[in-house]
Structure 1
């Protein structure tokens, strides 16, 4: 039965006069029209949107780990981790170096982070020392991914409570690059980086081949103290410092008994032992004293290398060696090869070796 006719019957039963019935009917009709219009323009209630987050299994030092979604706020623990992210054009939100080269956040990265700072486009948070990062700083950032090295094993449980955490070997740069690139959807970019690196290495091998033929024996040492007579050591066997030099064709002069294994701390050497290695055609001395550094835009370790070179020139035992007398002793910061074993470090290390070893002796 039509609504209007039904209402008329009701009003008639209530014994209202005709005028009052029509007036009341008009009011009710208007109210019904308004309600209908209101319902017609009402915005529908949004339903929960269930977005499927793509998950990946990443092989890392602590075992297979599931990472879901696309990480946006990434913290890099150690320069070799930062190096990979920057090579892939990924900007981190936080960073921890191996050594306290800077206090406070990185508000001017180009002057505060050696070698890599110029590739950072904005301010990032300083989360402390790579091997013992600041929990407070990490909680403040609230990252969705933390990438560290095998040195962070003891903090892994704590770090994983803050954000998904991946730890990688320090010197397996190619494998680390490919895994991180796959996680971030940049595998094609990683393959191009590796191809460019191989091309760069091949060109360097060709450039060094004349020197390798005439002066193949290289003595590589690390000086960790204030002077060359303090904490003189051989580099670790698995380090990028010596592996790149041998890949160029050089042969390292060092007895197996004195070269540390992959996991052990290099034993100290006495400078008096150096004459036993006088067969070396060249010496590469890696400076590792990080006190009293003077940051600069161009070379963070320039003053340190200058001091180390001066000490070598003033030491009678060092000057008695054949390599010294022929002007084939070269000084490089150990940070370059220990901290940056990846694609950026490879280019920088090769450039430094070429600038020094391919120059006339004594220059």
Structure 2
């Protein structure tokens, strides 16, 4: 299949259809609450926090789904943030927090993929629940904060990864 331009065009066409279908499935939710903040973070205090911008693959995908990204524009695919800057982005209706763990390399890594993914978000999710600034945000108060793993959402920038993100977004939004 490598080098077969017709198969590549077919795959891209199918992906575009999947994006359009997903967008249609939760269009009313996005119309009512269109602003989304996508954060990549390992910890809130003493960690790294970045806002994903429209310059990234994931940012473009979110906009294709109808979201208006809330992020400082810096011409790059992400913008570093401090915890104290989060209230400046309080206009977000939804916050997607993409956690990652730099964990202890000597620690036993789980064999179960679900446990591994949960391990990637555990630190940032615990921080979020315990932090007054995070808890003061409108999206938190409206129960519109979603925790997923950075590895899947930003590490697989192709048709397979995009479909995984589409499935997760649809599940999250339809459950609310």
TM-score tier, shorter chain, comes to: 0.7 to 0.9
SS in 2 for 1:294: coil
Q: TM-score scaled by structure 1?
A: 0.44
Match of 1:232 in 2: 49
1:304 to 105, 108, 120: 120
SS in 1 for 2:52: coil
Match of 2:25 in 1: 207
Deviation per CA, 1:141-197: give whole Å up to 9, x if none: xxxxxxxxxxxxxxxxxxxxxxxxxxxxxxxxxxxxxxxx32xxx333323322221
Q: Contact 1:295–1:301 at 8 Å: present in 2 too?
A: no
In structure 2, what is the Cα distance between the partners aligned to 1:288 and 1:306? 9
Q: Does structure 1 residue 245 correspond to structure 2 residue 58? A: no
In structure 1, what is the Cα distance between the partners aligned to 2:84 and 2:137? 11
Deviation per CA, 1:230-280: give whole Å up to 9, x if none: 211122543222111111010011232xx4525xxx553221111112111
Match of 2:97 in 1: 285
**Cα separation, partners in 2 of 1:195 and 1:297, compared to 1, 3 Å:** same
**Cα separation, partners in 2 of 1:295 and 1:228, compared to 1, 3 Å:** farther
Q: Does structure 1 residue 356 correspond to structure 2 residue 172? A: yes
SS in 1 for 2:11: helix
Deviation per CA, 1:195-250: give whole Å up to 9, x if none: 22122111001012111110001112110x3x222211122543222111111010
Q: TM-score scaled by structure 2?
A: 0.86
Q: Contact 2:153–2:161 at 8 Å: present in 1 too?
A: yes
**Cα separation, partners in 2 of 1:356 and 1:205, compared to 1, 3 Å:** same
Two-structure CA RMSD over aligned residues (Å): 2.0
How many residue pairs get aligned? The number is: 171
Gaps spanning 5+ residues in structure 2: where? none
More helix by proportion, 1 or 2? 2
Q: Does structure 1 residue 347 correspond to structure 2 residue 163? A: yes
1:1-363 to 2 correspondence within 5 Å?
A: 181-182=2-3, 186-223=4-41, 225=42, 227-229=43-45, 230-256=47-73, 259-262=74-77, 266=78, 268-292=80-104, 294-298=110-114, 300-360=116-176
Cα offset, 1:307, TM superposition = 3.4
Q: Contact 1:285–1:330 at 8 Å: present in 2 too?
A: yes
Cα offset, 1:298, TM superposition = 4.2
